[in-house]
Amino acid sequence: MRIPAKYELLLINFYSLFVVLIVTLTSIEPLRIAVSLPFLLFLPGYTLIAAVFHRNSDLEDGIERVAFSIGLSIAIVPLTGLLLNYIWAIRLGTILTFLVLFIAITSAIAWYRKRSISEDERSALVLHLPLPQLNKSGTLERVLSILLVLSVISAIAATAYTAFHFPGEEEYTEFYVLGFEGKMDGYPREIELDKEGNIASVKYAYLKKDYGGQVLPEPEMIEEKDESARILLGVANQEHRTMLYEVEILVDSNHSATIGPVELSHGETWEGETGFVPTEASAVTTLAESLTEDQRVVAVRSTDGFASGDEVIIGEDRTRIKEIREHSFILTETLGTSYPVGTKVTKTQRVEFRLHKVHMLGAPGQEQSSLSIWAGNHGMSVMVANLSDKEADYSLQIRAQPEVGYQTVTKEIGPFRLGSGEKWNEEIILVTDDSEVKDMEFYLYQNGELIYQENSPPDDYLMLHLQIEVTK
């Protein structure tokens, strides 16, 4: 099969535009995968090869050209994502735009170079798959030829089966937190409060590199006079059904904000800039005794405001508290650095972003209740709202199965009465820190009637977090 050299680059660019239309305008997953595979795994490398080796004689045959094209494409696409992370942002739209431009530019270079040679000398996509001539080939050659053809057919069939069957069955939600500029960089790290408890400034941490491109351990801190610590939240629905989401933000276990509900159809993505405001400064103490580089027991002036599992900053090092004893911390690891008496020890505050799934309960258009739920390894956050025009009694029943060796935990909450439009919100602890919930059953009753039930592991729910230092 030979595509004429004067048409192949034009057809490749038309196909690139066709891929963009299919990926952006349709939500049919098998179709999107089928048209995207050549676009990602072949075309970028092929047009680059065409630009560099524009003569037929530059490479031995079409198989060699195809092999180089696939190999280069596999290298180009990941490097594209890495590059976009630093100069723009990793989004479906930006990746498509970059690859389409890359294919167009390399195609233009290949077309310009091919103009100076005859059409017979120009490189073109040529694939010869001759069938073995049984009367001219030996037995071994015939067997090897047949095996080669069968191998190619098997590889194509396996790829098609995987693309058309497995992705369509996977149901998941993507949840991410980016810096407010839309990159995996520039996250809030340090917050200063004024005397009234309002934010005076926010320092954002940006990756810093040396001349060789290696990331340095200490980031570059840029201070902004913001009223809140800004970040960008994103949710992408791949559940193959319409979903409602809420994002709950907690700072040091205190509720800061709730965003949503946001309704997303399958394949839709929501992004929004938001911010959070801590309510108080981080706990601070100092070293009561000097700390050596191989020491894990840290003597401090006070342990007030600190707890096991907290992240702390000692001098220039970050570590975690494994255990608290009277006037001392047991660290999870040694610091490898010595610090003198009086060195400041600061607790960092944990900022959690919990992605709730929201369920509207009742007949469509006549919903009587709503349920917002998030589950973690140790507990869950539940919000129930009465949407009807009458009072209603609600109750919950939860069965949590911890790890092997621990007994099933059963909790019953309620009944509690909600008036029209009223809400009930509760943080429910199911197991202690030395165990984790592996599976969970949840039942919600309204006026004694079961209106919602779910049996799922906490892994189905998503949570992200940042660690910040708050000073005053």
- pLDDT number for residue 89: 60
Residues of the chain with CATH 2.40.30: 284-347
| Side chain identity, residue 398 | I
DSSP output for 300-331? BS--TT--TT-EEEETTEEEEEEEEETTEEEE
List strand residue ranges (DSSP E) for 194-252, in order: 199-206, 220-224, 229-238, 243-251
Judge residue 335's burial from the number of C-beta atoms within 10 Å of its C-beta, 0-12 exposed, 13-18 middle, 19 or more buried. Answer: buried
How many alpha carbons fall within 13 Å on the CB side of residue 110?
Answer: 30
DSSP output for 30-85? HHHHHHHHHHHHTHHHHHHHHHH--BGGGSS-HHHHHHHHHHHHHHHHHHHHHHHH
Give which of 224, 184, 223 is closest to 207, Cα–Cα: 184
- pLDDT number for residue 110: 86
Which position has the token pair 């949570």? 463
Q: How far from 162 is each of 19, 40, 155, 167, 437, CA to CA, in Å?
A: 20, 16, 11, 7, 33
CA distance 425 to 385: 9
Structure tokens at 58: 């530059």
- The answer to pTM > 0.75 is no
How many alpha carbons fall within 13 Å on the CB side of residue 261?
Answer: 17
DSSP assignment letter at 281: P
DSSP assignment letter at 457: -
Q: Is the peptide bond before 457 cis (omega within 30 degrees of 0)?
A: no
Per CATH, the number for 284-347 is: 2.40.30
Q: In what order do the strands lie in the sheet with 392-402?
A: 409-418, 392-402, 437-446, 449-456
Whole-number CA gyration radius for the chain: 30
Contact of 271 with 308, CB cutoff 8 Å: no
Contact of 81 with 95, CB cutoff 8 Å: yes
CA distance 87 to 176: 19
Average pLDDT per 10 consecutive residues for the chain, totaling 472 residues = 61 87 80 84 87 75 75 85 71 80 89 78 57 50 54 52 51 91 91 90 88 78 91 92 93 89 92 92 92 90 90 90 90 90 93 94 88 90 93 94 80 93 91 80 93 86 92 86
